[in-house]
Amino acid sequence: MASDHTNSPTALLLLPPPPAFSFVQVKDAFQPSLVDVYTKLSNALIGSNRTAMLDIALAIPDLLSPACQPRARVFAQLQHYLSSVYTLVGVVCATQNIELDSPGGIDTRVVFINASESTSTIQASDSPRFGPILDIQSLANSRRRWDHVFYMSNTNGQNLANSFTNSVSSQTRDGTAASMQAITSQPDWEISDRLLIPDDQHPSTPYYSVVVGGTFDHLHVGHKLLLTAVALVLEPLDREQEGRLTIGVTGDALLVNKKYAEFLESWEERWQSTADFLTAIMDFSPEKKSPQIERVFAPGPNGKTVLVRIQPNLAFEFVEISDPFGPTITEENLGAIVVSKETHSGGAAVNEERLKKGWNGLAVFEVDVLQSGEAATATDLEGFESKISSTDIRRRRVHLAKV
């Protein structure tokens, strides 16, 4: 059964900088707050098949400073922090028996915001910026209609909440009904001045075309981690140029032998849900416009594509994958590829094929997997893994269909 988004609860959770990006310290700092928020949203869904929407904004000092440009210099730390947060989301929902990304559950999206006092001077240019890294003014004035804006009740949380409310323009405030609500918090901790340390060993190269591949069936937090990491690599451009994410989505014909194949989403459903998620973490422009969509059916492998232009300088290209390499060996003008640590050998294989064609290799960025080993110390491992497995999600659909 499809979820009903009509009158679904929507919320924003503001989280101040953690003591460190490791899972243990993120858990110690944020777990009581996440339990409070997820319980509140879950209780609002009792007896319905609606899906609540929760945006989580992670504040980090100096995130938009010149030292952290281009984005590739801080990718490794940001993706690790992202993995810790999404792991904690899975832990909280497993221990509290709360659904994720399904009817009666909570659709979570995580972005990063700059927590520095000098944000306004950094954002002086009128060039459009896109997430998942943005300044607090862009978040506050994005005209997203949150029912509640949750913030931690300790000093760090209150300071972040004050920065958010002070950033809301009068025009946005008049059109937004969100209420600020303090939540359960741990006592204050010291925030390091050097929480985010740019990687001086990584080449300072901006990437304007990034590729990733996957099945993306019944989008869950594992997919969201990977897709957000892909967006982290993409460098913002001005209005005259275009940044592009190319997402290879496995074609239906390659999935017929999957378990519970009758509950697999179609290719159309899978690219659309992926596009919806990427739009949610990247498009914070106040003026909401319908995306421009262009379909192409070219002969040969990987010829079926859908181009979705979200902003003048941002587009998503979805390619139906018909072989192991997808668009990486049919599109020369790609700059970087994102792979999980489980599939890191795939990046090397792609570059071997590109070199055979006389093309440049792609920069390879690796993403942590969700930390089930850490989660097992805090909750039932089976309950956690059921949140991050498309196969298990389909199995539950089979069970519900028989009830």
- The pLDDT assigned to 401 comes to 46
- Work out the pLDDT band at 126, boundaries 50, 70, 90: very low
Q: Could you tell me the CA-to-CA distances from 191 to 137, 163, 311, 356, 378 in Å, in that order?
A: 22, 16, 35, 49, 25
- The pLDDT assigned to 307 comes to 96
∠ CA 371-389-100, nearest 5°, is 85
pLDDT digits (tens, 9 = 90+) for 330-375: 999 999 999 988 777 889 999 999 999 999 999 999 999 886 665 5
- The pLDDT assigned to 192 comes to 85
Q: Are strands 209-214 and 243-250 parallel, antiparallel or unpaired?
A: parallel
- Work out the pLDDT band at 393, boundaries 50, 70, 90: low
- Work out the pLDDT band at 299, boundaries 50, 70, 90: confident
Q: In this model, does residue 211 exceed pLDDT 90? A: yes
The most confident of the ranges 188-202, 247-261, 389-403 is 188-202
Q: What is the C-alpha to C-alpha distance for residues 225 and 84, in angstroms, rounded to an integer?
A: 10
Which class for 7: exposed (0-12), middle (13-18), buried (19 or more C-beta within 10 A)? exposed
Strands (E), 232-391: 243-250, 292-297, 304-311, 314-321, 336-340, 363-367
- The pLDDT assigned to 398 comes to 46
Return the percentage of the chain with pLDDT > 70, whole number.
82
Mean pLDDT of the chain: 85
Cα atoms in the 13 Å half-sphere on the side-chain side of 334: 28
Decide: 222 and 295 in contact? Cβ < 8 Å.
no
Q: In this model, does residue 161 exceed pLDDT 80? A: yes
Decide: 31 and 37 in contact? Cβ < 8 Å.
no
- The pLDDT assigned to 363 comes to 95
pLDDT digits (tens, 9 = 90+) for 232-260: 999 987 666 789 999 999 988 877 666 65
Residue 160 tokens read as: 């972040």
- The pLDDT assigned to 248 comes to 96
Q: What is the C-alpha to C-alpha distance for residues 156 and 337, in angstroms, rounded to an integer?
A: 36
pLDDT digits (tens, 9 = 90+) for 168-179: 876 666 545 568
- The pLDDT assigned to 342 comes to 79
Strands (E), 25-136: 52-60, 106-114, 133-134
- The pLDDT assigned to 27 comes to 94
Instruction: Please report, in angstroms and rounded to a whole number, the separation of the first and last CA atoms in the chain.
Output: 13
Decide: 215 and 250 in contact? Cβ < 8 Å.
yes
Q: How many residues does the chain have?
A: 403
Mean pLDDT (whole number) for 131-153: 94
- The pLDDT assigned to 343 comes to 79
Q: CB 80: neighbour CB atoms within 10 A?
A: 17
Mean pLDDT (whole number) for 135-161: 94
Q: What is the C-alpha to C-alpha distance for residues 227 and 9, in angstroms, rounded to an integer?
A: 24
- The pLDDT assigned to 379 comes to 54
Q: Is 47 helix (H, G, I), strand (E, B) or coil?
A: coil
Q: Is 3 helix (H, G, I), strand (E, B) or coil?
A: coil
> Tokens 């004050």 sit at which residue?
162
Put simply, whether the predicted model's pTM sits higher than 0.75 gets the answer yes
pLDDT digits (tens, 9 = 90+) for 40-89: 999 999 888 899 999 999 999 999 999 899 999 999 999 999 999 999 99
